[in-house]
Amino acid sequence: MSIHPLAIVSPSAEIGPGAKIGPFCVVEDDVRMGADCILESRAVLKSGTTLGPRNHLFEGAVLGGLPQHVHLPQRPGRVVIGADNVFRENVTVHRALDEQHATSLGDNCLLMVNSHVAHDCHVGNNVILTNNVMIAGHVNVGDRVFMSGASGIHQFCNIGTLAMVGGQAHLVQDVPPYVTVDGLSSLVVGLNLVGLRRAGYDQAKIQQLKAAYRLIYRSGLMWKEILETLRTEFAYGPAALFFEFLSATKRGIVSERRVPPNATLKIKSREQEEENQEETVKLRYKAG
């Protein structure tokens, strides 16, 4: 264990073997820090934080801050972090509102510069949050989710396993598993095929997911009919996760982008069309 003389570490904090704590770091009371963790300069572990082994906090990262809430609790919950995560510069993760609950993050996650995880969130394993991602309170993020820069999630939303969210997307509804959300429109644009292949999904599994995707977004069935078909026809394999996720949604799911956002179809009279054609011919003649 190595603690820089310019670091402030509470004598009651539990520090695991092999940990390295750099200058100007702060480790408060009621902190449990696992083996072989690294705290770079100015990293902070606040009270109520449990950190698993081999986590790496870069400069300015703060784990365990009080929830950003108008009514601050007298007895907030904890932050519980798994193993082998990387928290880049100025990442913040906040404690749960209630002492019986915890904000949690799994294993092997990468949280890039300035990303934020609010109170009572649950982030899975192998998740990547890129720069300036903003996750509001009570959000659940599934395993292997990729969130691009400056995307934001409304409170109480859910992001399904292996979903990919584009840059600057603003999400106010649940994102089903395996799909890609376009950053410009904040709408679903298909399956996350790159993520699925990287995760080892073979062609047969991807074809099953495509069939389930078409059922959800393109069949034209009523919601209850979609759920029943998912339950009966996709009870096994990776597509079974669709029924589990969709049947539990309370905010609804993000729609599919089938046409450009805010597109309108202007109806013109025959006379207007003929005038436009004549004008086009004149312009071409002058240009020639």
Residue 219, domain member (yes or no): no
| 120 a catalytic residue | yes
- The one-character DSSP state at 254 is P
Residue 148, domain member (yes or no): yes
Looking up tokens 């292949």 gives: 197
Which residue among 124, 137, 152, 166 is the active-site one? 137
- List the CATH number of the domain containing 43: 2.160.10.10
As for how many domains the chain has, the answer is 1
Close Cβ partners of 208 (under 8 Å, ≥ 6 residues apart): 234, 237, 238, 239
Structural domain for 19, as ranges: 2-202
Tokens of 144: 């292997």
Which residue among 107, 120, 174, 182 is the active-site one? 120
Which residue among 56, 116, 119, 122 is the active-site one? 119
Residue 263, domain member (yes or no): no
Residue 87, domain member (yes or no): yes
- The one-character DSSP state at 220 is -
Which one, of 97, 157, 162, 95, lies nearest residue 124 by Cα? 162
3-state helix, strand, coil in the chain (%, to 5): 20, 25, 55
Distances (CA, A) of 25 to 18, 114, 251: 16, 18, 40
Residue 13, domain member (yes or no): yes
Contact 134, 111 (CB under 8 A): no
Residue 47, domain member (yes or no): yes
Q: What is the rounded distance in angstroms from the CA atom of residue 162 to the CA atom of residue 192?
A: 7
| 4 a catalytic residue | no
- The pTM (predicted TM-score) of the whole model is 0.88
Residue 282, domain member (yes or no): no
Residue 262, domain member (yes or no): no
List per-residue pLDDT tens for the chain, 288 residues long.
Answer: 899 999 999 999 999 999 999 999 999 999 999 999 999 999 999 999 999 999 999 999 999 999 999 998 899 999 999 999 999 999 999 999 999 999 999 999 999 999 999 999 999 999 999 999 999 999 999 999 999 999 999 999 999 999 999 999 999 999 999 999 999 999 999 999 999 999 999 999 999 999 999 999 999 999 999 999 999 999 999 999 999 999 999 999 999 997 555 544 444 445 555 555 555 445 444 444
